[in-house]
Amino acid sequence: MPKVKVPRKSTSIDMTAMCDVAFLLLSFFILTTSFKPSEALTVVTPKSVSTKPVEAKNVVMIILDKDGKVYFSVSDENPNEKAAVMDAVDQLKSLGLTAEEKAAFSKRNASFIGVPFSQLKGFLKLSAEDAARYNSPGIPVTDSANNDLIVWMRAAQTAFAGDKMNLMVKGDNEAKYPSFKGVIDAFKKNEIFKFQMITDPENVPPGTDLYKSNMDRGPKK
């Protein structure tokens, strides 16, 4: 009996619907994804075995670079608090800042302050691009009689009154001790005794007590 050959037919699939779905998904991710801005300050943090994630909201960060310069910043997630900090600083130091100058700090993304109060007004007048390129001298902290960070921390406490303020210190591995001591002194003056250090995580060295403790607890579920 001869074999019956079944004629081959080409299969045509309409991909129009799939293309529409793919385009909608792509549009969704583009519109909802927030990209991390590039850091204006390069800081090489020390390593540690801590795995606690960094908070993203209600964050006040103090940055120390390798030259010992100190910078102050407030999370972009808290625009109202950023504005309140500048209002409080203006009142505490009688700087006479204009509304536009005070708004410059709250509107800039990933903005930080690294100048003494005598230069603050001129710094806030700069455009966002010029401010990012500005060679800031840092907030004075090493002179106990002229520690500007004391006022910045007092302003931060005022701005976050009633809410938990997540205070973080990001220090370069080569940061100078006098600058770090000045930062701690500013915290103490405002009765702030708790903060988090931002570090570069690494694996726990095998054989250490922490390694054995983690092994006894087993993997996290």
With CA atoms as reference, report the closest residue to 151 among 118, 106, 123, 200.
Answer: 118
- 52 alpha carbon, distance to own chain's centre: 15
**Count of Cβ atoms closer than 10 Å to residue 74 Cβ:** 28
User: Would you write out the chain's pLDDT as a tens digit for each of its 221 residues?
Assistant: 566 665 665 566 666 666 666 666 666 555 555 444 444 555 555 555 555 666 778 999 999 998 999 999 999 889 999 999 999 999 999 999 999 999 988 888 768 899 999 999 999 999 888 988 899 999 999 998 899 999 999 999 999 998 889 999 988 888 888 999 999 999 999 999 998 888 765 555 555 554 555 555 555 54
State the pTM of this model.
Answer: 0.70
With CA atoms as reference, report the closest residue to 204 among 213, 196, 195.
Answer: 213
Residue 217: predicted pLDDT: 56
**Count of Cβ atoms closer than 10 Å to residue 122 Cβ:** 11
